[in-house]
Amino acid sequence: MGTKTVSIRGDVYERLRARKRDDESFSALLERLLEESEPDWEATFGTLSSEDTGGLEEVVARVRAESDRGHIDRQRGALEAFGEVTDEETNSE
């Protein structure tokens, strides 16, 4: 595996050096810090409180309804373009 040279400010270097363990290379330090910062979505899945989700169900329902309407309109437009929708079918909705 090759190496790369990365330029960082002096203050950032000092912060990294302070977090580096004695037996740890800077590559290992950066890898550890990156792993620590990756969110574990499974650990927090389903933990939103009712207060945090206020209105979320309504928003999801509205977006789904808008998406459904858009899908229906696109289907109708495609069918009309091919002459497969009669006036009776169009007026029944």
The whole-model pTM stands at 0.41
How far does CA 83 lie from the centroid of its chain? Answer: 40
Range of the structural domain that residue 25 is part of = 10-38
Tokens of 15: 């912060």
Model confidence pLDDT, tens digit, residues 12-27: 999 999 999 999 999 9
The amino acid at residue 38 is E
Model confidence pLDDT, tens digit, residues 34-78: 988 877 777 777 777 777 777 888 888 888 888 888 888 888 888
Of 93, 53, 52, 55, nearest to 75 (Cα)? 93
| Structural domain includes residue 2 | no
Could you tell me if 55 and 32 lie in one domain? no
DSSP-derived secondary structure letter, 9? -
Could you tell me if 55 and 85 lie in one domain? yes
Region of 83 on the Ramachandran plot (φ > 0 left; ψ -120 to 50 alpha; else beta): left
Structure confidence at residue 25 (pLDDT): 95
Tokens of 34: 């990156």
